[in-house]
Structure 1
Amino acid sequence: MLPAGLFFLAVACQPDKDVPAETFSAPTPMTFPMPAQAGWPAPQPMPADNPLTEEGVALGRRLFYEKQLSADGTISCASCHQQSKAFTDGRAFAIGVNGQQHRRSSMSLVNLAWDKSFTWDGATNSLETQARVPLENPVEMHQSLATSASKLQQLGNYPQLFGKAFGSSQITEDNILKALAQFERTLVSYNSKYDRSKRGEVRLTADEQAGLDLFSTHSGPGINGAECFHCHSLPSVSGIHEFTNNGVDVAPFADPGRGGVTGQAFEVGRFKIPNLRNVALTAPYMHDGRFQTLEEVIDHYSDHVKSAPTTDGILFSNPNNFPSGRILLNADQKRQILAFLHTLTDTSFLTDPRYSDPNP
């Protein structure tokens, strides 16, 4: 027979089989913030296994700013995607853990719900799969999702937050990715001066309107257009064709871009067409940050596009500039396009508290 003290200790150490597992209420459905103005296309279908919920989006926002998702605890998603810079970082090349430099610039995170593929080369086709890439990439955050899940399981109230969002306090890799994707789908910009002009709330200046007209015009005999709309559709200003070679390099390409993913020769040198919302704040420009200003970008498309086997032919299609076919804008036209591009700045998006650090 055990001494009385040991008997009670042994009983106390037995697991209580009658204690029920923690249960959570179903998360609260969240309506997608669809812009209420004419002409907007429908976003991509929402994943059936990851609908938007209030709890999921709130958790994703917190994870977006969580530095413990990186190997050394110094970098979060927001380190390379800063709200004040339209979710870019102002660098030509992103900087990861231990000061390592990425080979490409950080893309702006805006209106992602309309995109079919992600990253400069389109290597992933959902926000859920895309989120894994920077988290585990050795030159970005360099931490396996399994390790991140283990760390979060012991960190603060994360188990409770995951329980509220997904019904279980056991943190999984998939649920980390789902929460991040939910938050990123809500990063919607639709309140720039351009948008407000479309809603009849303000009027564009003469230069801004002239820039919009150039942006939206295809060159024909006696008609000079800037051809921008072929790749950047209005009103969303997102990419129509997803990928293009915009003539910044000639073969052989230091970075194969989309061709490095597909292995197709016709895609070598092509990159994802970025959304132009808040473009005045996302310098430097291109996949390698080679242009410091929008003026340089406009000059490139007007005068300096390089011909390569995969360069988009629309950039050499102006019949008024034979034999080069270049766009060849004059100084006034360049100034007008610049004025229009500045109307795409959405200051409410840059300061919206729903997208900011929940624990500043």
Structure 2
Amino acid sequence: MRRYSHWRRILAGGVLLLAVHAGWIQADELDKTKALYKRPSSIPFPVQNPYTPEKAALGKMLFFDPRFSRDQNLNCASCHNPSFGWEVPFAKAIGAAGAPLRRQSPTVLNRAWASHMFWDGRASSLEEQAKGPIESKAEMDIKLGDVVKRLSAVGDYRKAFNTAFPGEGITENNILKAIGTYERTLVSGTTPFDRWVEGNDSAISTSAKRGFVLFNGKARCNLCHSGWNFTDEKFHDIGTADDLDKGRFEITGKQEDLYAMKTPTLREVAHRSPYGHDGSLTTLDVVVQHYIQGGAPRPSRSPLMQPVPLTNEDVKDLVEFMKTLSSDSAAIAMPNLPVPQ
């Protein structure tokens, strides 16, 4: 412990030699690790739904339009609010008739790189994901066919669809394509961590740098929160107290998926409390404490969930690092929604 503390003091003095539980990280090894988290230079769009600015602009209008709910009181942003990391600051999202849903709403940020949507991965594309909440009785509670009728009564929407989808117009499929296109453009902003990865050594604090080493070393966070988006896009039972929600098991019926939920991105995590599929982890400190303890023991708990002996200072450093994964809040210009004429 004295040797570990000694090297922490050296790090504070600016020497690029970082201590972890298994040895030392030299400057070249640190650079290799940082490179694993470098942001991509472009957004991937599927061949079957390529990007066009007209389609994205239309999708943005649809995303914020309450005509997509039975009572015209909810839109996609009701659960995915840009002011809160494209989530909502509640343990559970609110659906039709003001009733809470069974899970916390996941962020829609960086979903262009995702292979599965929802906590349980039941949708394999953003187009499929968009349809789910619209037609869910508990959420927006309206059939897409009825949405088509509503939008078809609006002249400006007819024009917008004909521009985005020449010769096709307003169809259920085109509605989902437009929303999916817009959602793929929702990418987290450049963060202090990104600037550090790009070479600005003063972009994050010494505490956050120690946290990065812990994240990729003794704390073992990178085993699930990997890559530039800080998620392996896999499903794990992390031992939360909720034993009623069976997670991905409800989709696959496989025992290995019992209580398993998709690893969430850590991008914009400082803006997205509370945490966990059930919103039971109220702060980042509570999240780290949950992992230190290893979660509730049960047969399905991921073997990656092991108690981790971290000090209070380690916890502080990890939280400081995770805060560097959030960008400055940026105002989102709301679209002008067409009205019937």
TM-score bracket, shorter-length normalisation: 0.7 to 0.9
Which residue in 2 is equivalent to 1:340?
321
- Give the ranges of 4+ consecutive aligned residues of structure 1 lying more than 6 Å apart after TM superposition: 41-44
1:211-230 matched pairs, under 5 angstroms: 211-217=211-217, 225-230=218-223
2:336 — aligned with what?
A: 359
Stretch of structure 1 that moved more, 174-183 or 295-304:
295-304
Show CA shifts across 1:22-48 (max 9, x none). Answer: xxxxxxxxxxxxxx9974469896322
- Match for residue 331 of structure 1? 312
Change (3 A) 1:311 1:241: farther
Q: CA RMSD in A?
A: 2.0
What per-residue deviation string (whole Å, max 9, x for no partner) do you get for residues 88-146 of structure 1?
A: 01111111121122100010111111100000000010001110001111111001000
Report if the CA contact (8 A) 2:36-2:228 is conserved: no
1:289 matches 2:279: yes
Q: Assess, with a 3 A threshold, how the Cα gap between structure 1 residues 243 and 43 changes in structure 2: closer, same or farther.
A: farther
Aligned partners of 1:44 and 1:116 also within 8 Å: no
Shift of 1:165: 0.5
Per-residue deviation, 1:182: 0.1
Residue pair 1:43, 1:114 contacting (<8 A) in 2 also = no
- Which amino acid in structure 2 is aligned with residue 161 of structure 1? A
1:233 match: 226
Distance across 2 between alignment mates of 1:182 and 1:123: 19
| Aligned partner letter, 2:310 | L
1:196 positional shift = 1.0
Is 1:242 equivalent to 2:234 in the alignment?
Answer: yes
Rg larger for: 1
Per-residue deviation, residues 168-220 of structure 1 (Å, max 9, x unmatched): 36310000000000000011124011011111234321100001110111xxx
- Which residue of structure 1 lines up, in the alignment, with residue 76 of structure 2? 77
Distance 2:131 2:166 in 1: 22
Paired letter, 1:244: H
Provide the rounded CA distance (Å) in 2 between the counterparts of 1:74 and 1:302.
Answer: 42
The 3 A distance-change label for structure 1 pair 193 and 45 is closer
Residue in structure 2 matching 1:267, options 216, 241, 257: 257
TM-score, normalization by structure 1: 0.80
Deviations 1:251-299 (A, max 9, x none): xx30110010001011011001100111111111110111111111111
Residue type at the aligned position of 1:346: S
Preserved contact between residue 58 and residue 160 of structure 2 (Cα < 8 Å) = yes
Aligned equivalents of 1:170, 1:55: Cα separation in 2: 13
From the superposition, tell whether residues 81 and 126 of structure 1 become closer, same or farther in structure 2 (CA, over 3 Å).
Answer: same
How many residues align structurally?
Answer: 302
Segment of structure 1 superposing worse, 67-76 or 184-193? 184-193
Identity of aligned residues (%): 35
Scaled by the length of structure 2, the TM-score of the pair is: 0.84
Other-structure match for 1:308? 298
Measure, in 1, the Cα distance between the counterparts of 2:236 and 2:36.
Answer: 28
**Structure 1: any 5+ residue segments left out of the alignment?**
1-35, 218-224, 317-325
1:56-205 to 2 correspondences below 5 Å: 56-168=55-167, 170-201=169-200, 202-205=202-205
Say if 1:216 and 1:43 are closer, same or farther in 2 by CA, change over 3 A. Answer: farther
Question: 1:13-68: CA deviations, max 9, x gaps?
Answer: xxxxxxxxxxxxxxxxxxxxxxx997446989632221000000000011000001
CA distance in 1, matches of 2:36, 2:286: 32
Distance 2:327 2:113 in 1: 18
